[in-house]
């Protein structure tokens, strides 16, 4: 199967509107079940695949997502370029609610997750270069697509990946700011490194749902406001990806 692009949807993106002739694929993987069926369809003259990272009913918390199965299944179906759509909190002042960011670096604070396809008996151990965790050419294409779609994204930034599902304390965000993080999310890793192990081109489209703890004017983060911001930002994702596939 030839797939021009695959998108992994985060919180707020559970179906992909605009797919024509959709086909659902349940893929058996050596690593167990993926988050759900992969939906493939025609989109602006190209074939794309979509997978809801948390399941179509948001039943999987970040630390329970089977990232290995998800990436393996997409690769098995022929995906060689993947956009990870991630809901995040903003740490940097210009990364407030409804802003889109295409980060260029990541810091991994997660624990207890399967972070490599090498984590099975008999597998070849690969020491991959991860100096630049996102594919530069795909990042550039994604940024250009966002501009053409009328929703420019911020170029660059460091994504801090936390364990979840709880939000972070103010002290944790202070530490992350000291570490150089501009965004905080719960699903950026190990997705990015698993894509690299499979030689999949990978970039992140981060949708800012809220300011992180202590970074905005609010004393308490409202989950209702988070999902309202996500709904608004998510509406821009299909037009951006339409520009991306149309140009490549």
Q: How far is CA 124 from CA 73, 120, 130, 197, in A?
A: 19, 9, 18, 11
C-beta of residue 8 within 8 angstroms of C-beta of residue 191 = yes
Compute the CA torsion angle 100, 56, 162, 235 (nearest 10 deg): 10
Task: Provide the annotated binding site.
Answer: 11, 53-54, 186-187, 210-212
Q: What six digits make up the tokens of 42?
A: 């025609």
Of 67, 78, 7, 76, nearest to 193 by C-alpha is: 67
Rg of the chain's alpha carbons, rounded to an integer?
Answer: 17
236 CB neighbour count, 10 Å cutoff? 18
Are 33 and 69 a contacting pair, CB within 8 Å?
Answer: yes
User: Could you identify the residue written with the tokens 């699903």?
Assistant: 187
Helix or strand run (H / E) with residue 141? helix 136-148
Residues annotated within the binding site for phosphate are: 11, 53-54, 187
- Token digits of residue 73: 């299944």
- What is the DSSP secondary structure assignment for residue 36, as one 8-state letter? S
Binding residues for substrate: 186, 210-212
Q: Which helix (H) or strand (E) holds 46?
A: strand 46-52
Tokens of 105: 């670096």
**Whether 20 contacts 96, CB under 8 Å:** no
């Amino acid at each position: 199967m030839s797939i021009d692009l695959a998108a992994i949807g985060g919180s707020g993106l559970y179906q992909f509107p605009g797919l024509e002739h959709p086909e659902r694929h349940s893929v058996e993987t050596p690593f167990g079940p993926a988050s759900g069926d992969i939906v493939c369809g025609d989109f602006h003259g190209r074939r794309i695949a979509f997978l809801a990272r948390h399941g179509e009913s948001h039943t999987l918390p970040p630390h329970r997502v089977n990232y290995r199965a998800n990436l393996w299944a997409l690769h098995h179906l022929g995906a060689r370029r993947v956009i990870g759509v991630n809901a995040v909190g903003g740490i940097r002042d210009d990364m407030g609610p409804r802003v889109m960011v295409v980060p260029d670096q990541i810091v991994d604070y997660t624990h207890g997750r399967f972070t490599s396809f090498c984590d099975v008996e008999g597998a070849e151990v690969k020491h991959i270069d991860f100096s630049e965790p996102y594919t530069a050419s795909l990042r550039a294409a994604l940024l250009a697509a966002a501009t053409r779609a009328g929703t420019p994204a911020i170029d660059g930034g460091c994504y801090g990946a936390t364990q979840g599902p709880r939000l972070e304390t103010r002290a944790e965000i202070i530490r992350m700011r000291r570490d150089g993080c501009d965004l905080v999310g719960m699903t950026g890793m190990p997705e990015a490194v698993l894509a690299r192990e499979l030689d999949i081109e990978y970039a992140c489209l981060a949708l800012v749902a809220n300011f992180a703890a202590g970074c905005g004017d609010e004393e308490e983060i409202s989950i209702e406001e988070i999902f309202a911001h996500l709904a608004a930002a998510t509406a821009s994702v299909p037009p951006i990806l339409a520009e991306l596939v149309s140009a490549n």
